[in-house]
Structure 1
Amino acid sequence: MNLPLIAPMLATPGTLPAAGQDTRWAYETKQDGQRAVVYLHGDGGVTLRARSGEDITAAYPELGALGGALGTTAAVLDGEVLVLDEQGRSDFQLLQSRMGLARSPDRAARRAERAPAHLVLFDVMHLGGDLTGLRYARRRQTLESLGLQGPFWSTPTALVGHGEEALRATRASGLEGLVCKRLDSVYEPGVRSRSWIKIRNLRTADVLVGGWVPGKGRLSGLPGAVLVGQRDDAGRLRYVGSVGTGWSASERADLARLLRAAETDHCPFDTLPRAAEALWVLPRLVGEVAYSTRTRAGLLRQPSWLRLRPDLAPEDSAADLP
């Protein structure tokens, strides 16, 4: 069967629906993986396409068996490819070792043995016909009726109502966040819709600025990013990442003046960061950043600058290194 190409619907960043609207929404765990539209062709074949439309099937050979899960029934499903850690939680760093291997099937097969992928399914857009015009609640009921539970794929349940409890549970479990989906919403291919709201659980950390990378173009002479670290138990400044967002124009200009005043010829980090054109500063500026998670090496994922902390002395900045 020739299945239609369907671009994935996208969620809009936001906050929980109002308490009075809570029962009109479903809540799903926000997964930290690679979005995939899954095409089951009804002949045992399966095709996975990334959000960009790229065919990524060969990168995940262990998902090939999903092609026969519905027999001769063809379908288009929406989901997320994950790689789970030893605690059963999504580990994006492990997933990165699997991404980009669609053109290297032999390498993909070897990586699959060491870090198997798991596909989480959360929507169905085509099943014997177009379902995108159906309400979310109806599509979700249809998806769950398919019983798609296997060695490398699953269909987690969605919680209707109880949004605050669901969000607290994701935070307590160290999960990335929550996706809120309006029960009466249709599937809008390729649209970033207010009918789906994503809430990312952000953590904060106090960091020391040890360097910066000059910006380009309109940011010439200003910091395009700052290189930040935290002290370990031995007092060494460990590099934890590059932060390039979160400033207003005036804040960036103020930061540039502070960085120039603290210039030094020596890298203050215990290991040299991979940052071309980096300029080093004495690590005396304390900043607060928000981030989603840490890599196993302790680097901050998706960091964003929140504010300078002039109230904190460099030796007082808290370290929460793994």
Structure 2
Amino acid sequence: MTLPLVPPMLATPGRLPPAAQDERWAYETKQDGQRVMVYLPGDGNVLLRARSGEDITAAYPELRPLGGALGTTPAVLDGEVLALDERGRADFQLLQSRMGLAHAPARAARRAARVPVHLVLFDVPFLGESLMRQPYVRRRGRLEELGLAGPHWSTPGAMTGHGAEALAATREHGLEGLVCKRLDSVYEPGVRSRAWIKIRNMRAEDVIIGGWLPGKGRLTGLPGAVLVGQRAGGRLRYVGGVGTGWSEAERTELAELLRAAVSSRCPFDPVPRIPDARWVLPRLVGEVSYSTRTRAGMLRQPSWLRLRPDLTPEESAADLPEGSGSGG
């Protein structure tokens, strides 16, 4: 049969539901991968579409056997493709080596042998008929009844209630975060809904500003991003650019401080390859939040928190293990 095209329902960033409403919500681990809609027409084939709607089936050849997992029952499944590290945790940097190969099936097959992926499934908006108007709790029950567990796919559990404990567990185990889903929520294709709330675990550390990038448009004359580093082995190693998190007043204040610290020499070792970079003396300490680090020690999704005028670069607690950092 011809399956309906179902854009994925999206979660809204937010906080845990109030404690008084805790039992009205289910909690799932937030995964760090590529969102996919899985189309199983019931003839042994499988079609994977990215959030954009692009056909990415050929990028993940190890998922083809999923086409026969439900026999002749047509279905549309919602899930996320992950690449797992040696500890069994999702590693987006590993996954990036698999993404973008939908039009290069031979390369995709070679990469699959070295970096296999795993598909986690968490919803079923269509199963022989549309389930999108049914509540989440009923759809979730139907999904779990399917028993979809294979060499490259699984259906992780969801917890009803105990949201604070679930969030604490993701932090304790170094996971990306939590998705809260209201038990009575219908499936809203393509909608960023308040019925699903995502909470990302963020870390915070001190960094040393070594440069900046000029802003554009309304930010002309102000820093568009600051270039930051942390100490490692006696050197200041570049760990990323931070371009969000400021108010207009904070950005203006920072611009004045950067102009007073201008330098012709890059303080990072090794020097990162960053076009249009402006360098400063490494004497300003700030605090940033971020989600995870890449294997090279770079900060992922960094956001500015505050200046730390109470700290000198020598007093900054930020310190990378030897071997971390990137040359750009």
TM-score range, shorter chain: over 0.9
Q: Which residue in 2 is equivalent to 1:244?
A: 243
Q: Which residue in 1 is equivalent to 2:282?
A: 283
What pairs with 1:48-127 in structure 2 (closer than 5 Å)? 48-127=48-127
Give me the whole-angstrom Cα distance separating, in 1, the residues matched to 2:319 and 2:14: 28
Give me the whole-angstrom Cα distance separating, in 2, the residues matched to 1:299 and 1:34: 20
What pairs with 1:196-211 in structure 2 (closer than 5 Å)? 196-211=196-211
Q: Which residue in 1 is equivalent to 2:261?
A: 262
Deviation at 1:321, TM superposition (A): 2.1
Q: Deviations over 1:83-126 (max 9, x none)?
A: 00000000000001111111111111111111101000000000
Q: Which residue in 2 is equivalent to 1:29?
A: 29
TM-score, scaled relative to structure 2: 0.97
> Do residues 222 (structure 1) and 216 (structure 2) align?
no
Give me the whole-angstrom Cα distance separating, in 1, the residues matched to 2:209 and 2:110: 40
Q: Which amino acid aligns with 1:169?
A: A
Q: Deviations over 1:278-314 (max 9, x none)?
A: 0000110000000000011100000000000001111
Give me the whole-angstrom Cα distance separating, in 2, the residues matched to 1:40 and 1:285: 55
Q: Which amino acid aligns with 1:238?
A: R
Deviation at 1:144, TM superposition (A): 0.3
Give me the whole-angstrom Cα distance separating, in 2, the residues matched to 1:251 and 1:199: 26
Deviation at 1:320, TM superposition (A): 4.3
Give me the whole-angstrom Cα distance separating, in 1, the residues matched to 2:263 and 2:62: 51
Give me the whole-angstrom Cα distance separating, in 2, the residues matched to 1:145 and 1:293: 34
Q: Which amino acid aligns with 2:238?
A: Y
Q: CA RMSD in A?
A: 0.7
Q: Secondary structure at the match of 1:211?
A: strand
Q: Which residue in 1 is equivalent to 2:326?
A: none
Deviation at 1:274, TM superposition (A): 2.8
Q: Secondary structure at the match of 1:272?
A: coil
Give me the whole-angstrom Cα distance separating, in 2, the residues matched to 1:271 and 1:120: 39
Q: Which residue in 2 is equivalent to 1:164?
A: 164
Q: Deviations over 1:229-251 (max 9, x none)?
A: 0011x220011111010011111
Give me the whole-angstrom Cα distance separating, in 2, the residues matched to 1:147 and 1:321: 44
> Do residues 181 (structure 1) and 147 (structure 2) align?
no
Q: Deviations over 1:147-180 (max 9, x none)?
A: 0000000000100011011000000000000000
Aligned length: 321
Give me the whole-angstrom Cα distance separating, in 2, the residues matched to 1:318 and 1:275: 26
Deviation at 1:65, TM superposition (A): 0.7
Q: Which residue in 1 is equivalent to 2:213?
A: 213
Give me the whole-angstrom Cα distance separating, in 1, the residues matched to 2:317 and 2:41: 53
User: Percent identity, aligned pairs only?
Assistant: 77
TM-score, scaled relative to structure 1: 0.99
Give me the whole-angstrom Cα distance separating, in 1, the residues matched to 2:252 and 2:19: 41
Give me the whole-angstrom Cα distance separating, in 2, the residues matched to 1:226 and 1:141: 48
Q: Which amino acid aligns with 2:308?
A: R
Q: Which amino acid aligns with 1:19?
A: A
Give me the whole-angstrom Cα distance separating, in 2, the residues matched to 1:316 and 1:92: 32
Q: Secondary structure at the match of 1:316?
A: coil
Q: Deviations over 1:231-278 (max 9, x none)?
A: 11x220011111010011111111111111111111100012232100
Runs (4+) of structure 1 moved beyond 4 Å? Answer: none
| C-alpha contact 2:231 2:319 (8 A) present in aligned 1 | no
Q: Which residue in 2 is equivalent to 1:147?
A: 147
Q: Secondary structure at the match of 2:314?
A: helix
Q: Which amino acid aligns with 1:302?
A: Q
Q: Which residue in 2 is equivalent to 1:271?
A: 270
Q: Which amino acid aligns with 1:284?
A: R
